[in-house]
Amino acid sequence: MNRQYRPLTVLNLAAALVFTAAGGALAPAHAQKRQAQSLPPDHERLQSAPVMAIVGVKDQRISLYDAQGNVMRSKVSSGSTGYETPPGTYSILQKNKEHYSNLYDDAAMPFMQRLTWSGVALHEGVLPGYPASHGCVRMPNGYAEQIFPITKIGMRVIIARDSVAPVEVEHPVLLKQPAVLAQAVVTRTAYEEPSDDDAYPKPFLADLRNWPERQTELDALLAAAAEKASEAEMRKAPIEGLKSDVAGAMKMRAAAAKSLRHAEQARRVADDKVATANRALEYAKAPDRLKPWEAAKAKADAAVLTATERLNSAERDVPVGANERQLERAERAARAAERNLRSAVANAARADRDLASAKLPARYKKQEDALAKATAAAAALMPKFNEANERLKAADAELKDANDDLAKATAAMDAAIAEATDAKRKTLPISLFISRKTQRLYLRQGHEPILDIPVAIADPEMPIGTHVYTAVDYKDTPNELRWTAVSLDRRPGREVAELSSKSRQRDAGAAEPYVTDQARALSALDRITIPPEIIARVSPAMWPGSSLIVSDEPAHKETNQATDFIVIMSGEPQGGIKRRPKPAPQPLRRYYDDPWMDGPNDRIAYDRYGRKVRIIQQKKPLFSWW
């Protein structure tokens, strides 16, 4: 709460009574000035829901209009020098009763109504009588609190250099809804301001209480949207069960794959043993394996022949008539030759037995037994391997079926959500934007882009200005919309400069805003040609609250997937956007709630760059301000 509106405390009241009793009463002028500061801003009451807000930067004033032209005005404080609030077209993107700035030292911004994701907003704040904010529009406490529950997400907010009022216009380019079958019976009802106790702000919907046929039409669309939402919720219900089935099938497949890996490893070990035993048997049976024994036998046989020859030689070479000594030497030689012969014969017999033994099958019986054992072990593992392989195939088939079921259910849910979103969108006003800069027509509904096509503009090199046309209500019948126009061009004959000290001291409610030049607003429409197929497509959704923006400017870069068209006047100061710090993207709420898409605390949102994110909303601690 502003200091100037803070009620007197007991101590202040006691001090005032003592001061008055002592004869020190305030002078009448000072008393009137203090009384004026302590009262809430003076404004009228609206007779129906507001359809737009217009902020005059030079006059430091905001005007909230309803469909009948009633207005609630109050003084404001816009962006200071270097942080000017940029004139242009906006809409309310987010509302938060208790908000704190993430750019400027956690500053309190009560009754915040966001206009851009970068931080420009309407909110309660101190009003020194001149521009003093960092780009936002500050409003007094009483006014900010009173309008907070009656404004809706998507309501048009226009920030103009000078205070300007809408003017009623008629033109063929301004689209109309198809006629209803019966005529409406106008039954005016008292407008009741809604409560601000809603957990989430509601989107802007047409106020059709005075038009029963149109209300019936809108109710049918809302009922269809609710039915589609219910269907989407029903489609969503089995998804978790199917996800559990997929998780179970994945777990079973993982267990089967692990069992198969173990079986494969055991089979590889058994196959390696079989191969090793087979190589040993082949080596044992190979003909080259007998060569050592054959060589040994040949060598032994040769030794026998040599010993025999030596024995024969020793016996033959005894000289005739040898003396006793020579005979003794010859006998010794014969005996040695005989011993050598016996040894050679024994070696030859042994070599012959070894060769015969090497040729017997029992020689490689050990290798044959090892091969048979390894082969039997490998054969015993095959059933386990085949069983594990079959289990894996069954688990793969079950996982595929579970994934197919989940994919089908997810596709059905996505289709139902798309239908529900489309049905919900049909109840929301249309926003059209025609840019002379790009020579294109853009269409948005529910802060989401729908269409982007070329458009014909007569004399495209000639400036056309910036004009906002709003369907505020129906006329005498529900078959003809009533349109108003607001031009954002500078007021002719008035200089464009910073607020002078004189204008800073002027009361916000003292001067009436000038009315938009009707002829100039209509001349801009004369240069526009909307394709017939677009008219046929858009007309059924042209509810009150729909708008058409015609401008020389392109859509500003602040326009993304979670905004309406943000068009900034290029000839005006834009410090409130250009000089704002750029914090990390903050996830934000959608234009409208999607209960069939989100859980109780799970929300689909967009960040300031239009990227879709899913966030978990958490309540702020009770004593978080300590």
Domain CATH for 520: 2.40.440.10
Which residue is listed with tokens 């919900």?
A: 424
Q: Say yes or no: 460 and 601 in one domain.
A: yes
Residues 408 and 509 in one domain: no
234 in any annotated domain: yes
User: Does some domain include residue 469?
Assistant: yes
DSSP code string of 361-427: GGGGHHHHHHHHHHHHHHHHHHHHHHHHHHHHHHHHHHHHHHHHHHHHHHHHHHHHHHHHHHHHHTT
The reply to whether 114 falls in a domain is yes
| 92 part of a folded domain | yes
User: 225 and 83: one domain?
Assistant: no
Q: How far apart are CA 207 and CA 220, in angstroms?
A: 15
Rounded to the nearest 5°, which phi and psi values hold at 512?
-80, 140
pLDDT of residue 26: 32
Looking at the structure, do residues 25 and 52 belong to the same domain, yes or no? Answer: no
State pTM to two decimals. 0.67
Domain-located, residue 625: no
62 and 44 in a single domain? The answer is yes
316 within domain boundaries: yes
Q: What is the pLDDT of residue 520?
A: 93
Name, in order, each residue with C-beta under 8 angstroms of 197's C-beta and a sequence gap of 6 or more: none
Domain tally for the chain? 3
Kindly state whether residues 23 and 143 are assigned to the same domain: no
* Cα–Cα distances in angstroms (integers) from residue 524 to residues 110, 112, 141, 171, 548, in the given order: 39, 34, 39, 10, 12
CB 53 within 8 A of CB 156: yes
User: Are 445 and 581 members of one domain?
Assistant: yes
Within this chain, do residues 221 and 311 fall inside the same structural domain, yes or no? Answer: yes
Which tokens is 195 given?
């409560």
- Evaluate whether residue 280 is within a structural domain: yes
Domain-located, residue 325: yes
The rounded average pLDDT for each run of 10 residues, N- to C-terminus, in the chain (626 residues) is 35 34 36 36 70 92 91 92 91 86 68 89 92 91 90 93 92 88 49 50 80 88 90 88 93 94 93 91 79 83 84 74 77 84 86 80 83 91 92 94 93 91 88 95 90 93 94 89 89 44 44 86 94 90 93 91 89 73 46 46 49 50 39
Q: Which of 558, 560, 559 is nearest to 610 (CA)?
A: 560
Burial of 357 (0-12, 13-18, 19+ CB in 10 A): exposed
The secondary structure element, H or E, covering residue 178 is: none
What pLDDT was estimated at residue 201? Answer: 65
Strand order in the sheet with 467-474: 167-169, 481-487, 467-474, 547-551, 430-435, 440-445, 448-454
Which residues form the domain of 53? Answer: 40-193+428-616
Which of 397, 426, 455 terminates a domain? The answer is 426
pLDDT for res 138: 94
Dist. CA 66–CA 68, nearest whole Å: 6
Rounded Cα distance, 110 and 140, in Å? 10
Shared domain check, 415 and 385: yes
Same domain, 484 and 440: yes
513 lies in the same domain as 574: yes
CB of 52 within 8 A of CB of 152?
Answer: no
User: Which residue carries 């677009």 as its tokens?
Assistant: 534
Q: Return the structure tokens found at 403.
A: 């994934």
In the β-sheet with 112-114, what is the strand arrangement from edge to edge? 94-96, 112-114, 121-124, 137-139
Listed residues 375, 400, 426: the one ending a domain: 426
- What pLDDT score was predicted for residue 38? 33
CA distance linking residue 427 with residue 392, whole number of Å: 52
Residue 225 host element (H or E): helix 212-285
**Predicted local distance difference test score (pLDDT) of residue 600:** 43
Angle at 432 between CA 114 and CA 457, to 5 degrees: 130
- DSSP output for 22-91: TT-PPPHHHHHHHHHHHSPPP-PPPSS-EEEEEEETTTTEEEEEETTS-EEEEE-B-B-TTSPPPPEEEE
Q: End of a domain among 426, 445, 462?
A: 426
390 and 436 both lie in a single domain: no
pLDDT at 182: 53
- The answer to whether 89 touches 140, Cβ cutoff 8 Å, is no
Place of tokens 């807000």: 53
Q: What is the pLDDT of residue 513?
A: 83
